[in-house]
Chain A
Amino acid sequence: MRAGSSTSSIGKNVANRTGFRVVGTSVPRVDAVEKVTGRARYTGDIVLPGMLHGKVLRSPHPHARIRAIDARRAEQVPGVVAVLTRDDLKDIDPYYGPVVQDRPLLALDRVRYAGDPVAAVAAESEATAEQAASRILVEYEELPAAVGVAAALAPGAPRIHEGPHRAGEERLSVKPIPGTNICHHERLVRGDVERGFAEADLVVEDTFTFPMVYHYALEPHTVVAHWDKDALTVWASAQHPFLVRGELARIFRLPLARVRMIIPFVGGGFGSKSYTKIEPLVAALARKAGRPVRVAQSVSESMHTTRRHSVTCRIKTGVKRDGTLVAKACAIHLDTGAYADNGPQVANRAAQRVIGPYRIPHLQIDAYAVYTNSVPAGSFRSIGAPQSIWACESQMDIIAERLGIDPLALRLKNVLKRGELVRTGMKPLDGDISVGLRKTAEALGWRRRPGADGRGLGLACGFMNAGAFPVSIAIVRLHADGSATLLVGTTEIGQGARTVLSQIAAEELALPLSEVTVARGDTDAMPFDRSTGSSRSTTLMGLAVQRAAREVRDQLVKIGAKLLRAPTRAIEVRNGTLSAGRRKVMSYADVIAGHFGLPGGELVGRGYVRPPGGKPVNPVFWEIGIGGADVEVDRETGQLTIRRYVSAADVGKAINPRECEGQDEGAAMMGLGHTLFEAIRYEDDQIVNPNLIDYRVPLFTDLPEEFVALLVENGDGPGPYGAKGMGEGGIVGVSPAVANALARATGVRVRDLPLTPERVWRALRQSDGSKENHGDRLSSD
């Protein structure tokens, strides 16, 4: 793959015009050397005195009542210190969950999926723990299981959860449908959808499916828990340490101040480490063992911990002959698995995101998060979006084809403009999608005739309400020698947050980047940050860092003015010094020493980001993702080769352009996984490919021959310097862009993912067959 990337000319060189020093430049990652030399420490590297190793026993059954657990044989294994079962949870509140607290940290009365944790062993070695876990006797009474949404919604389907659960911390009003396995129903209505269909010249209806996929963060979930009397310290690969802290405090009935989350380097998250995963289980095991316990999951165990929702999306769209969209009705069913986790929010986002960035007067969108007896689904890079945009954007091309309109033109005709109302109560569109679409099409060579050489071009776009809840707090400490430390609760999950936040602080403090350090994540030291996800950190934590740094700079200037005997407005801040004219110059260190009267002391600045009046603007910003694919089809095998992939991200202002391109590239390549290769397959109620040999993520050999990253920079984001978040948008357009390219190359439309050669080959064959029998394919539908 050629890393042929370029930066769009829109708003280009804002940096130069406004004289940034560090912001807007592609400085190397601040942690690059640590990582490539292996010095970076991850949770799995933590070794504590007396630390034990934990192993979890998981249910072999998809749905069963637990009659009895006999742990004696495990306890007798030499080296075993503790076996944790449901009997040990009686003095704590074992339930957790971000939206509904429906998940016990160990199965209590029954197991709800093959892989559900049933017991855990802490032992002197991992091998001993594993051996002992296999000796625990569990007596199950098997119950009818419902794997898959169809089974879970069938009449007489087993109920996977009884009764209402407490709400979690997320502010989403959950609407279960009583008497069913539907744990949340999200409905969006605008206008009168039936009237809209009546007014339409053409109504198309399609059903699309999207597979279950796994995040495959290189580092599986890893947690070390340590109790010191009644204070709990947890090292974890967690994206949202403050939310995990809250859950742990509630479960173990501790004040927040006695729960400390320490987040070393994290080997990738992608949503798999959002919210609380195995932290309560490991903490409970350590509590019973009376010693620190480390649990490092295998890939297979992590595949049995969380995944992305598989989705069936029925989508019906009414359109005028000239391409004007008038009505859309959707029924989206999301397989949320055995526990809700983030599922209701994923359903909420899927419902919003299936509409697409288009003006549609009449809407009725229903999204259902459905409990099933499979691995719980949760957050995954741009929740609900790749699934719903796959349906929306594939169908846009179907409509274009039926109406004989160019797919780009159809999109441009309907796309929302900057400042246009998206939906009542939401922030108007804050970006320019049509420009990004045009640029992407241009970079693809859109005007080339499609299909002639077995090649086709496809486009897709999506926009996502991003940023999650806007609360982030930062502290900047300017030390006695003039260097600075940032205290931020943002988790570095490989996205480059430490680098970008350092750049912002260096810019504001007029320091070289080498003088700025981001402290390690630790909830005892860091002020609160709501979460790391939803493309929010550059925008929200970036703003908090900017404010905190400015507060420090203001203090510095005030003190410096006094010491230099000059008015504050005469003070210039440059490269670690204050000056008032050529003769009056002081280093930051001199200023601080002068202020405190000794070579010591420090200045502290705080930056708060919170919604004005406590009511958040929804969304923080609109994240725009646009993709374009140039695809070659091998008609004999069904093999697709992506000759070029173009991804456009509207970043407002690129604090670090190379990191932005890297994020976009990473997101698009991840999208390539579910587009061409990946699917978790269930057979006999078990995952049949729970390993990296049979679960196939794309490899170097599978990447597009050429990748183009376009960064749209209009300085129009709510973050520092007009930045807005990115890193998720790149994933949403891949599947529809590739499928649209396939359709334009061959006339064959595939509505299921992944687009494996076998699936494409079958579709081509079917189409050849139906052409022979029925003549023109298009006239038959």
Chain B
Amino acid sequence: MMRLPAFTYLAPPTVAEAARAVVEHGGEAMLVAGGTDLYPNMKRRQFEPKVLIGLGAIRELRGVSGRAREGLRIGPTTTLTAVARHPEIARHYGALATAAGLVSSPQLRNMGTIGGNVCVDTRCNYYNQAYEWRKAIGFCMKKDGDICLVAPSSSRCWAVSSSDTAPVLWSLGARVRLVGATGERTMPVEALYRDDGIEYLAKRPDEVLADILLPPADGWTSAYLKLRRRGSFDFPVLGVAVALRIEGAVVRDAKIVLGAVASLPRSAPAAASALVGERLTPEVITRVADLAAGPAKPLDNTDYAHFYRKKMTRVFVARALRRLGGLDGEGRAEEEVA
């Protein structure tokens, strides 16, 4: 690993000033929050910004406010540890606390932010390597090269969305507020993502993620399961986020969103609608799990073969549903490591 290259660090006190700084420095600037992903990537020369605009000094970006009854507002530079431990989040948006608590390791969750995780760079075995390694094997199109080493005939990049919190936020119906140099907009979190490993965010460079807004939690329960090789530290190679509104024993509303199976989180609407009006019986769960695996299109560019990850999608969706339906007698751990 190389050393961190030289750069200028700016610490604007407001979101507006941060957005203006991005415009001022053009393509040379990047935003940074916790830096747990960006700095190692800079050492490997995946990014070579001349200017970093730190968001840490902007007070309005940090902290959780509101009540689950009316909906919560999460400041994007709230650390993952704080999100995971927040009582209101843990009680009413359980999957989000789970997902935040499963990112990397305790030390990195103390530095890493939820906004950073929502915007985290896509990953690929051929991209997340040291500069010398990439040079030796031939650069890929995501950085310094012009072909995809996973799918050489492809005209696009297949790097994988590796956020734990993004699929959960989508399943919970979260919205995000972006503040740019020339104005602001609020949109559903899923509108933030594009199906491209390089341009994976539909956010202008000058737009700062200013708010993560959770809708009222009433009646919803949620679960998140993560597949990775070890019990901590590893990025997801499959994430399953399920949110259900159950009345009596009948599912009234459902969202299923998959992480780490494509360049963006993938929802499984057919599976979700097959749940509506049903009770969570073993038969229903099996049918829905089969449908949910459909949108999972993993490639062989992360840990584990794509075939296995696709098969595990079905297993994990079924497990998440069993847990939410109270069919999981053993009271399993929050995470499935496989």
Contacts and interface: CB of A to CB of B under 8 A. Distances in A.
Interface of A: 58, 60-61, 114, 126-127, 130, 134, 298-300, 634, 636-639, 677, 684, 686, 688, 690-691, 693-694, 696, 698-702, 756-758, 761-762
A677 B308 CA distance: 16
B151 interface: no
B136 A114 contact: yes
B337 interface: yes
B234 A634 contact: no
Among B105, B128, B336, B338, the one with the most A-chain Cβ atoms within 10 Å of its Cβ is: B338
Interface in B300-321: 303-305, 308, 311-312, 315
B231 A686 contact: no
Contacts of B137: 684, 686
A49 B62 CA distance: 46
A698 B311 CA distance: 25
B125 A700 contact: no
B3 A126 contact: yes
Contacts of B105: 699
Contact of B136 (A638, A686, A757): A686
21 contacts: A60-B135, A127-B3, A637-B315, A637-B338, A677-B229, A677-B230, A691-B1, A691-B130, A693-B233, A693-B235, A694-B128, A694-B303, A696-B234, A696-B303, A699-B105, A699-B231, A701-B231, A701-B337, A758-B305, A758-B338, A762-B308
Nearest to B305: A758
B191 interface: no
Contacts, number: 78
Contacts of B232: 699-701
B202 interface: no
A60 B229 CA distance: 29
Contacts of B128: 693-694
Given A690-B130, A690-B133, A694-B128, A757 B338 contact: yes
Contacts of A702: 230-231, 337
B312 A698 contact: no
B284 interface: no
B235 to A, nearest CB: 8
Interface string B204-248: 000000000000000000000000011111110000000000000
Among B135, B305, B311, the one with the most A-chain Cβ atoms within 10 Å of its Cβ is: B311
B90 interface: no
Contact of B1 (A300, A639, A686): A300
B132 interface: yes
Nearest to A126: B3
B187 interface: no
B130 A637 contact: no
Contacts of B303: 694, 696
A699 B231 CA distance: 7
A127 B337 CA distance: 39
Which 8 A-B pairs rank lowest in CB-CB distance, beginning with the nearest?
A: A701-B231, A60-B136, A637-B338, A757-B338, A639-B338, A758-B308, A701-B232, A127-B3
B315 A756 contact: no
Given A58-B132, A114-B136, A696-B229, A637 B312 contact: yes
B249 interface: no
Contacts of B327: none
B270 interface: no
Interface string B116-129: 00000000010011
Contacts of A636: 315
B338 A634 contact: yes
Contacts of B231: 699-702
A300 B230 contact: no
Given A701-B232, A761-B338, 5 more contacts: A60-B132, A637-B336, A690-B130, A699-B230, A756-B304
Contacts of B135: 60
Contacts of A634: 338
Contacts of B3: 126-127, 130
A292 to B, nearest CB: 21
Among B231, B235, B305, the one with the most A-chain Cβ atoms within 10 Å of its Cβ is: B231
A702 B105 CA distance: 13
Nearest to A114: B136
A52 to B, nearest CB: 16
Contacts of A58: 132
A299 B234 CA distance: 18
Among B105, B133, B231, the one with the most A-chain Cβ atoms within 10 Å of its Cβ is: B133
Nearest to B126: A688
Interface string B1-29: 11100000000000000000000000000
Contacts of B233: 693, 699
Interface string B124-148: 0100111011011100000000000
Contacts of A126: 3
B230 A696 contact: yes
Contacts of B129: 688, 690-691
A58 B235 CA distance: 29
Contacts of A690: 129-130, 133
Contacts of A60: 132, 135-136
A762 B338 CA distance: 13
Nearest to B227: A637
A58 B131 CA distance: 13
Contact of A298 (B1, B136, B311): B1
A634 B308 CA distance: 14
A312 B1 CA distance: 32
A695 to B, nearest CB: 11
Contacts of A688: 125, 129
Contacts of A637: 312, 315, 336, 338
A700 B106 CA distance: 12
Nearest to A687: B133
B155 to A, nearest CB: 22
B77 to A, nearest CB: 24
A632 to B, nearest CB: 11
Given A300-B1, A634-B338, A701-B232, A761 B136 contact: no
Contact of A686 (B133, B229, B312): B133
Contact of B308 (A127, A686, A698, A761): A761
B37 to A, nearest CB: 11
Nearest to A689: B125
Contacts of A298: 1
Nearest to A638: B338
B337 A639 contact: yes
A698 B230 contact: yes
Among A134, A756, A758, A762, the one with the most B-chain Cβ atoms within 10 Å of its Cβ is: A758
A432 B203 CA distance: 69
Nearest to A57: B132
B336 A639 contact: yes
Contacts of A114: 136
A758 B304 contact: yes
Contact of B130 (A300, A677, A698, A756): A300
A693 to B, nearest CB: 7
Contacts of B304: 756-758
Nearest to A684: B137
A58 to B, nearest CB: 7
Contacts of A761: 308, 311, 338
Nearest to A637: B338
A639 B308 CA distance: 12
A705 to B, nearest CB: 12
Contacts of A691: 1, 129-130
Contacts of B336: 637, 639
A365 B115 CA distance: 60
Among B136, B137, B315, the one with the most A-chain Cβ atoms within 10 Å of its Cβ is: B136
A114 B133 CA distance: 10
A638 B338 CA distance: 7
B237 to A, nearest CB: 10
Nearest to B136: A60
Interface string B319-338: 00000000000000000111
Nearest to B105: A699
Given A684-B137, A694-B125, A701 B2 contact: no
